[in-house]
Amino acid sequence: MRDKNFPYLPKDYIQTEEGLIFAVVAYQPVEDKIACFLRYVLNDAVWQKVETDAANQILQQSYPKYCYRSEQLDAEFHAVAVSDIVKHYRPEQRLQKLLQREANDEIEAKFLKLIPILVRYGADCHSLGLTGSMLIHQQQTKSDIDLVVYGRKAFLNTRSAVRDAIEDGVLDPLDDKLMIENYQRRAAELSFDEFAWHEHRKFNKAVIAGTKFDIGMVSLKQEVKLDNNRYKKQGMRTIKTKVIDDHGAFDFPAQYGVEDEQISEIISFTHTYIGQVRQGEIIEASGAVEQNIVTGKCRLIVGSSREAKGEYIKIRPLAL
């Protein structure tokens, strides 16, 4: 599953000697560095989770070597050299180790209850991993369970397992309280009703014993389409278009082929808009236009930051 020459995958975490933990966000290196985003900072022996603005400020002021500008993508993000890594957290290893011992807390107990349910409904345990706070042993009572599924086929099977378990009443859909919390955390550029409508039909989130869990896909090596093209930012744009290809809707990043004279595809790096729309649907999308400097083709990027302020994808019209 992992390339020996570059064993880093999205949803892995990497730790540096300065007490910084980054989430990996790309399948390929950028100039021998790992594209990532700062998620945790060690303060007085306690790991503190940080949001986008705080993460950027911390690195700019104290650790500028982890700030990176890509000429290829005409974008700025975080990047860590392999030589600066002191620990590599792998979701599949964490999951398998946790399955082999007793739970240490309430969240781990729910996790150990969840996995057999998913397997019973058709998920492959050996295709799963555990990311988020549980990957680095920082879960709390109100933490979510963040599962990784490796490979498109395994992901679709796991998503079907979630749907079927909900229909049988073995797992619960998100109730209003959890949906509101999810909405507030995502800071989405949608109304709550729009957000909830899209979320309810994805079946990549559910609830076990009051705790929300979600599943996110990481592509296998043969499924990854490496992109070495160079792009130039062309400003922000809002389009209304038809989805003609949803094959990569749940990939990371999500990819939607669209019917537009200038924009050939929509790419989303933000979890909120993964699995958001389906083939044949008319949608409205707002994001940053990037132009391939060789072919001249343009794509729309939704999620230039984790919160994706001012950027969105939604069905039009939406029958709420």
| Residue 3 belongs to a domain | no
- Amino acid 231: pLDDT: 87
- Amino acid 187: pLDDT: 63
Number of domains composing the chain: 3
Which among 42, 70, 89 is the end of a domain?
A: 89
Q: How far apart are CA 34 and CA 44, in angstroms?
A: 27
CA neighbours closer than 13 Å in the CB half-sphere of residue 43: 7
- Amino acid 189: pLDDT: 85
Same domain, 102 and 210: yes
Which among 183, 218, 253 is the end of a domain?
A: 218
CATH number where 270 lies = 2.40.50.140
- Amino acid 318: pLDDT: 66
Tokens 């790992």 sit on residue: 34
Same domain, 107 and 193: yes
Q: First CA to last CA across the chain, in angstroms?
A: 41
130 touches 94 (CB < 8 A): yes
Q: Which residue from 233, 225, 237, 242 is spatially nearest to 279, judged by alpha carbons?
A: 242
Same domain, 98 and 66: no
Same domain, 105 and 205: yes
Q: How far apart are CA 155 and CA 150, in angstroms?
A: 7
Q: Where are the beta strands (DSSP E) in 50-111?
A: 67-70, 75-81, 85-89
Pairing of strands 312-315, 298-302: unpaired
| Residue 8 belongs to a domain | no
Q: State yes or no: cis peptide before 29, omega within 30 of 0.
A: no
Same domain, 103 and 34: no
Q: How far apart are CA 248 and CA 229, in angstroms?
A: 19
Domain that includes residue 101, residue range: 91-218
Q: Phi/psi of residue 109, each to 5°?
A: -65, -40
Same domain, 251 and 284: yes
- Amino acid 313: pLDDT: 95
Residue numbers of the chain with a pLDDT score lower than 70: 187, 304-308, 318-320
| Residue 72 belongs to a domain | yes
Same domain, 81 and 178: no
